[in-house]
Structure 1
Amino acid sequence: MPEAAFYYKNPAAPRPNKPPILGACAIIQYRSTYLMESRADSDRWAFIGGAMEPEESLEDCILREIREETGLAVSPGLLQFVGVYSDPSRIAAYPDGNIARIISAVYWIVLEDEPVLHCSKESRQLQFFTIEQLAPLTVAETQLDILSDFIEALL
């Protein structure tokens, strides 16, 4: 089965054949660890997130994505807006032939209670990592800028 491919600041990236995808992702913290998913569509780790549906706000989008991908029901009051990542070189090429620029609103969520996670079909694995463990992960290239900024802010 073909895998998704992700690009960031890569001149060899394919040209998008679809409109940009607006979505959201979450940096989910529990104690001094951060949640990542091993994506089922590629050999990459990523923050929880996905594309916004036409009837959703960005906040609704990230709450839905968290619920679908982890089983967690997060209170909207826990969402802390981090920023928007819109570099035009953030490109995703999906196995169905769709190629799109990815624009992501990023939220930070700090969990007080130890979460019980349920892995969806979109993920191979859900795992919390320390900040030191995040840097060497093979991360979806469309999230490299987010991860880099996040690690820099924490160190």
Structure 2
Amino acid sequence: MAQAKFYYKDPAAPRPNRPNHIGVAVLLEWQGRYLMEYRADSDFWCFIGGGLWIDETLARCAQRETREETGICLPETDFQFVRLYDDPSRIAAYPDGNVLRVITALYRVALAEEPALVCSEESRALRFFAPQELAGLPVAPTHRDILGDILAGRV
């Protein structure tokens, strides 16, 4: 499978050739741990998330992506907006030739109980990590700013 490539503050990143990509990332927390997915299209761990459809709100996108990528079904009201990540150096290059600037709305959900997780075709694995474990993970560059804020206690 061809690999997706991700860039953050990388002067060698390709220039976007499509409109800005707006999406979400979701911090799913359970007992002080964060859920990450190991992507099928790269060798990176990422927070749950994906692209915004033209006819949905960001919170609805967070709800849909959570269900699609993990099997966890939660009401839209459980998703609390945290902040927007809009650094223009957040770039994703896909095997189909699309190169996008990635703008990400971060949401957070504190889970009351351990969920039964179901991997989608987009994931090789789903796993909860303690913050100190996150520091050593190969995280997609487009999620490193989010990870940095978690580790610094800013989110």
Correspondence for 2:94: 94
Q: How does 1:1-155 map to 2 (within 5 A)?
A: 1-153=1-153
Q: Percent of counterpart pairs with the same letter?
A: 52
Measure the CA separation in 1 of the matches of 2:94 and 2:149: 25
Q: Which amino acid aligns with 2:129?
A: F
TM-score by length of 2: 0.97
Measure the CA separation in 1 of the matches of 2:147 and 2:16: 23
**What does the per-residue CA deviation read over 1:64-106, in whole Å, with 9 as the maximum and x for residues that have no partner?**
0000000000122221211000000000000111000000000
Q: How many residues align?
A: 155
**What does the per-residue CA deviation read over 1:36-65, in whole Å, with 9 as the maximum and x for residues that have no partner?**
000000000000000000001000101000
Q: Which runs of 5+ in 2 are unaligned?
A: none
Q: Which stretch of structure 1 is more off in the superposition, 145-154 or 134-143?
A: 145-154
Q: Structure 1 runs of 4+ off > 3 angstroms?
A: none
Measure the CA separation in 1 of the matches of 2:50 and 2:76: 17
Measure the CA separation in 1 of the matches of 2:89 and 2:41: 20
Q: Does structure 1 conserve the Cα–Cα contact (< 8 Å) formed by 2:33 and 2:128?
A: yes
Q: Does structure 1 conserve the Cα–Cα contact (< 8 Å) formed by 2:62 and 2:79?
A: no
1:138 CA drift (Å):
0.3
